[in-house]
């Protein structure tokens, strides 16, 4: 899910309550209090990761949490020790340059390009496969509003009064907020006299649900994958000016790997170059974990159990740490 680049949580944990393993270069928290400063993070010296250890950086986003758990459940039968660190986005990128984070499954592009591109340029990080196909972020309206003729950004200003001149966003500082504030300042699509109501994801979707219940017009920032696409009757507006990026906000969600770690672990590069889901599948994961309150381990297990052929394809050419084919090891360990 697209979010502000501000760091979120700074806790580190292992799966299912396992003890955190020791490792050179472990993440350390340092509080820096001063004028204009919040909490800062300091990393120890980088170290080359042992081949059997995999550390994921995981922001507090439901879809990434479940995808990372799926990866963890596949890696453990192969002989890898897995750790997940629930930390903020900026901290993940920093950690991938210091040996503290090996893999990240949530590089939402182009929104995160300002963080990624300098680290690609200096050779610290590599992109692997797109792990979600069909991702998009742009403005959305209820289907009844779309059917009444508001089908594009170009239709908004002619219907300003119906929308009270308001667009709902999910948080100041997000890429979406920056895009919309720039559009308002430039009067793009006649939005110069509109207001961006920047709340939170929960607040924005609560407003959308309320409007839909009352059959009122509303326009908000929508994206897929997300549970909203399964639970709300919604349509995305067309935009031939591509305010949210090429293809009307089409997004590329990539797996990132620390370059040194990739060089040392070609087996994992093979796996994560084949580790991919559709936007609809990740929307289901987000719905089950974020809305239905199922545990992320349970959601991950359910997806794996329902998709053995997909798991076999993901593991093609991959081996266990002992050099045996990966698929039989995973199939037997997880009873697929």
Confirm if 154 and 148 have CB atoms less than 8 A apart: no
pLDDT, residue 20, reads 36
pLDDT, residue 296, reads 96
Q: DSSP states of 222-285 as a string?
A: EEESSTHHHHS-EEEPB-TT-TTSHHHHB-EEEEEEEHHHHHH-HHHHHHHTS--EEHHHHHHH
* pTM score, whole prediction: 0.76
- Kindly report, residue by residue over 7-16, the tens digit of the pLDDT: 333 334 444 4
CATH 3.40.190.100 fits 136-249, yes or no: yes
C-alpha to C-alpha distances, 59 to 2, 56, 171, 300, nearest whole angstrom: 11, 10, 16, 17
Rounded to 10 deg, the angle between the 296-306 and 62-75 helix axes is 60
Q: Which CATH class is domain 10-131+253-333?
A: alpha beta
Identical topology for domains 10-131+253-333 and 136-249: yes
Return all residues near 210 (Cβ < 8 A) that are at least 6 apart.
Answer: 216
pLDDT, residue 145, reads 98
Which residues of the chain are modeled with pLDDT < 70? 1-51
CB-count burial class (<10 Å; 0-12, 13-18, 19+) for 31 = exposed
pLDDT, residue 206, reads 96
| Residue 165 backbone class (left: φ over 0; alpha: ψ -120 to 50; beta: rest) | left
Query: For 57, which DSSP code?
Result: E
pLDDT, residue 18, reads 32
Q: Where are the domains of the chain?
A: 10-131+253-333, 136-249
């Amino acid at each position: 899910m697209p979010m502000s680049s501000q760091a979120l949580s700074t806790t580190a944990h292992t799966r299912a309550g396992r003890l955190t393993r020791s490792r050179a270069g472990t993440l350390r928290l340092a509080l820096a209090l001063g004028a204009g400063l919040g909490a800062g993070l300091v990393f120890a010296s980088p170290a080359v990761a042992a081949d059997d250890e995999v550390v994921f950086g995981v922001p507090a986003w439901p879809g990434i949490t479940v995808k990372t758990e799926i990866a963890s459940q596949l890696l453990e039968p192969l002989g890898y020790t897995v750790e997940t660190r629930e930390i903020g986005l900026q901290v993940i990128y920093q950690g991938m340059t210091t040996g503290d984070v090996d893999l990240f499954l949530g590089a939402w592009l182009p929104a995160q390009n300002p963080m990624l591109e300098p680290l690609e340029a200096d050779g610290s990080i590599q992109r692997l496969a797109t792990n979600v196909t069909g991702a998009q972020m742009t403005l959305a309206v209820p289907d009844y509003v779309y059917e009444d003729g508001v089908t594009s950004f170009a239709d908004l200003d002619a219907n300003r009064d119906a929308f009270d001149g308001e667009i709902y966003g999910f948080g100041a500082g997000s890429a979406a907020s920056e895009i919309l504030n720039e559009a308002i300042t430039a009067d793009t699509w006649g939005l110069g006299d509109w207001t961006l109501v920047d709340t939170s994801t929960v607040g924005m979707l609560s407003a959308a649900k309320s409007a839909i219940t009352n059959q009122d017009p509303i326009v908000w920032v929508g994206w897929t994958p997300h549970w909203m696409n399964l639970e709300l009757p919604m349509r995305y507006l067309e935009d031939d000016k591509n305010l949210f990026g090429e293809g009307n906000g089409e997004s590329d969600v990539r797996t990132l790997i620390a370059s040194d770690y990739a060089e040392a672990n070609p087996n994992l590069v093979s796996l994560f170059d084949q580790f991919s889901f559709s936007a609809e599948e990740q929307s289901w994961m987000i719905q089950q974990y974020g809305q239905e309150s199922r545990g992320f381990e349970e959601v991950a297990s359910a997806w794996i159990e329902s998709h053995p052929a997909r798991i076999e394809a993901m593991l093609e050419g991959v081996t266990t740490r002992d050099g045996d084919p990966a698929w039989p090891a995973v199939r037997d360990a997880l009873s697929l």
